[in-house]
Amino acid sequence: MTLPQTILFDLDGTLVDTAPDLAGAMNHVLASLGRPSVPVDRVRHLVGHGARALIKRGLAETGEPRPDLVEPAMPLFLAHYAAHIADASRPYDGVERALDALAAAGCRLAICTNKPTALATQLVAALGWTQRFAAVIGQDRAPRPKPDAAHVHATLAACGGDAAACVFVGDSATDAGAARNAGLPLVLVSFGYSDVPVATLGADAVIGHYDDLLPALAAMVPA
């Protein structure tokens, strides 16, 4: 099986179900403001655009939106999340098997995430994945975050990848936009945090399990 030389992955909702710990941090903020909590299953459709957007959406879900509360809540959110970053976050089924197979095939793997780099690398380390990825590039290490192509190009530069032999794997419209803007083929997972049907996002392939990733990637390599 011939595979692309470089695979760029989104993190939250693509490799790892981080919603339980993100919900914990958001609900910690909401509790400090006297607001009710938001169920984890609802949070899965609120994440993917960064901590500020998550707090903003959490406030809108639980009463008056109060945009003036978002920035003051950020330190509390980030401190709680960092302290509980992998309490309940788990890789999706088949992820580690797929990453092992890609590594064995000589593929270069990197993470392109809108999570802050420090939190992304902390999560990767907590999962024992530090050696799996040639680079982890959060939004703070890119000139402009996804869906801007600059984030993709920064990740490729950091991992030594070539856009001409690269595929992006994600779960959302943000990832679809990033891949499209950078001219990369795209695989989307159907089980992530997209707030719109992934079938509408123009991916080259949509997979429902990581056992399907390698065949999908191989189909994107010119014969």
**Alpha-carbon gap, residue 125 to 129, rounded angstroms:** 6
Does this model's pTM top 0.85? My answer is yes
Domain ends where: 83, 110, 139? 83
Quick check: 49 pLDDT over 80? no
Q: pLDDT for 127-180, tens place per residue?
A: 999 999 999 999 999 999 999 999 999 999 999 999 999 999 999 999 999 999
Backbone region of residue 66 per phi and psi (left: phi > 0; alpha: psi in -120 to 50; beta: other values): left
Burial of 130 from C-beta contacts in 10 A (0-12 / 13-18 / 19+): exposed
Q: How much of the chain exceeds pLDDT 70, in percent?
A: 100
The residues that are catalytic are 10
> Which amino acid would we find at residue 76?
L
> Does 43 share its domain with 11?
no
pLDDT tier for residue 222 given thresholds of 50, 70 and 90: confident
> Does 25 share its domain with 132?
no
> Does 58 share its domain with 103?
no
> Does 98 share its domain with 31?
no
Q: CATH number of the domain at 34, please.
A: 1.10.150.240
> Does 11 share its domain with 79?
no
Q: Is residue 223 part of a domain?
A: no
Terminal Cα-to-Cα distance of the chain (whole angstroms) = 11
Can you spell out the DSSP letters for 160-216? T--GGGEEEEESSHHHHHHHHHHT--EEEETTS--SS-GGGS--SEEESSGGGHHHH
> Does 137 share its domain with 206?
yes
Domain ends where: 55, 83, 111? 83
Tokens of 166: 């690269």
Q: CATH number of the domain at 162, please.
A: 3.40.50.1000
**Alpha-carbon gap, residue 141 to 146, rounded angstroms:** 11
> Does 155 share its domain with 187?
yes
> Domain range for residue 167?
6-17+89-218
Q: Which residues make beta-bridge pairs with 186?
A: 168
Can you spell out the DSSP letters for 123-144? HHHHTT-GGG-SEEE-GGGSSS
- In the chain, the number of structural domains is 2
Q: Is residue 139 part of a domain?
A: yes
Which pLDDT score, from 0 to 100, does residue 42 have?
Answer: 85
Q: pLDDT for 11-42, tens place per residue?
A: 999 999 999 999 999 999 999 999 999 999 88
